[in-house]
Amino acid sequence: MFWDLILPLFIPAGLVLFFRILNKPYKPAIFGVYQQRNKFFWIKYIFMYLILSFRQLINHLRRILAVETGKSSDGVQHIHKQDEMLENKYYLNDHAQAIDAVYLNGCNKEGDAVICGIARRPKHVVDAFLFLKVKGEDLLLSPELPDTYQEQVTIEEGYYRIKGLEIANFIPMRTWKLTYNGDMKVRNDTEKTVKVELSLTWSAVFSHFNYDTQMSPKSMARDLAKERWSRGYFKLLKKFHQTHYEQMGALEGTVTIDGKDHAINIPCVRDHSFGPFRDWKTFHRYVYHFIFLENGDCMAIGSVCQPAVLSHLTIGYLCRQSDQSVLPVEFCDFQLYQHGEHQILPKDYGFCFEAGGKTYAVRVEVDDEETFYIGKSREAKFYERWCSVEINGVKGSACVEWQYNNVQATSKRKNE
């Protein structure tokens, strides 16, 4: 009797609610770029969360199966076959926008810092750069900076190598080598050059973090659910995909500047990105923090805006010294539109993130910065910013990379 009375009321109420949601207008994107939560957000979130969680489970089971069937090492004492294959050079083939890039970024509170990137592109083109800081010396820049576009000669082709600068793998997921022999510019007097010989070894401290398989399903689903879905959207998502993984370690060795030796021993992240498509014109901007704390913890936290597919993507992971765990960032309140949207970059700011069931409050204070460009036409502009940080009372150092789309600025200069 009760349900006979109630059900006739529920049905029309449900229909009214359904059509109200269906006809609810979309909230406009912030600054015309950053999508907000809109109708069907929770349905899309749950759907995507289930898919991403299932995909992560399948990958985990495949890794276990490879070990159990003897096709791979256990991934502890010896490198897992799947991880070893990641370290191979990527075959660029005939894809016009293909990329195979390696990168190192490290610093400490004493003022030592090294940033180096070499990105192989088709037709023997590379985007390459080197920043070097040693205590008591001015910042040194590789000769082509602020530009990075260069062309390899025959003996450099197929390697992460250009004009005396080279990054080479010795042991997959364990050891890499960074070497350089040549001139570098002095930041405060670019007409002046110094002779630099550099031989540094990067060694792993933590296991790697693969963004393809280890990102938080909750965080990823949350960001995907904000976007407008269509068949074309998912085709673009597939087209723009590239493999990217990172690993925290230490960079150690000797730098000789005009005959004077300097010992380098700094915490350092290294990464490897590859895939058939990367066009910097499709990126609006990103901010990425590489943080090294005094207690041995390391972390990478940031946000990426690639409007065609993800107007806000939270990325990052925490490397916890106490148990050597590498944990995905599950939430971060750093919003790009609140920080430097028009290239007025903050000198001090803060944000919070969650990882491993714990909340971390981050405070950042900028000490120094330098800019450079990537691409033949300077399609992307970068700010490398060396910072002092404090997280939950623990102090540390950081290098924060701010990237901006530079296409309009480049076009404006050409038309003037």
What percent of the chain is predicted at pLDDT more than 90?
83
Token readout for 245 is 């993984």
Q: Under a CB-based contact definition with an 8 Å cutoff, are residues 92 and 122 in contact?
A: yes
Of the candidate ranges 42-46, 132-136, 167-171, 367-371, the one whose mean pLDDT is the lowest? 132-136
pLDDT value, residue 414 = 55
The contacts of residue 241 (CB under 8 Å, 6+ apart) are: 275, 277
pLDDT value, residue 14 = 56
Q: pLDDT, tens digit, for every residue of 392-413?
A: 999 999 999 999 999 876 655 5
pLDDT value, residue 22 = 58
The phi and psi torsions of 108 (rounded to 5 degrees) equal -140, 175
Question: Helix (H, G, I), strand (E, B), or coil: what is residue 33?
Answer: coil
Residue 21 counted as domain residue: no
pLDDT value, residue 65 = 85
pLDDT value, residue 5 = 58
Q: Which among 347, 339, 328 is positioned nearest to 403, based on CA atoms?
A: 339
Q: With residue 305 as reference, give the H or E element that holds it.
A: strand 298-306
pLDDT value, residue 26 = 78
Count of domains in the chain?
Answer: 1
| 414 or 297: which leads in pLDDT | 297
Peptide linkage before 146 cis (omega within 30 of 0): yes
Residue 176 counted as domain residue: yes
Residue 3 counted as domain residue: no
Section 219-248 average pLDDT:
97
Residue 145 counted as domain residue: yes
- Output the average pLDDT for the chain: 93
Residue 405 counted as domain residue: yes
pLDDT value, residue 408 = 79
Confidence class for position 25, pLDDT limits 50, 70, 90: confident
Section 75-94 average pLDDT:
84
Section 6-23 average pLDDT:
59
pLDDT at 39 over 80: yes
Q: With residue 49 as reference, give the H or E element that holds it.
A: helix 41-68
pTM equals: 0.92
pLDDT value, residue 70 = 72
**Domain range enclosing 98:** 41-415
What percent of the chain is predicted at pLDDT more than 70?
91
pLDDT at 1 over 80: no
Residue 116 counted as domain residue: yes
pLDDT at 6 over 70: no
pLDDT at 341 over 60: yes
pLDDT at 170 over 90: yes
pLDDT at 416 over 80: no
pLDDT value, residue 415 = 53
Residue 5 counted as domain residue: no
Residue 18 counted as domain residue: no
d(CA 300, CA 104): 13
Section 208-216 average pLDDT:
97
Q: Under a CB-based contact definition with an 8 Å cutoff, are residues 159 and 181 in contact?
A: no
What b/e readout covers 193-208, taking b as 16+ CB neighbours within 10 angstroms? bbebbbebbbebbbbb
| 329 or 26: which leads in pLDDT | 329
Confidence class for position 94, pLDDT limits 50, 70, 90: confident
Token readout for 400 is 């924060």
| 395 or 95: which leads in pLDDT | 395
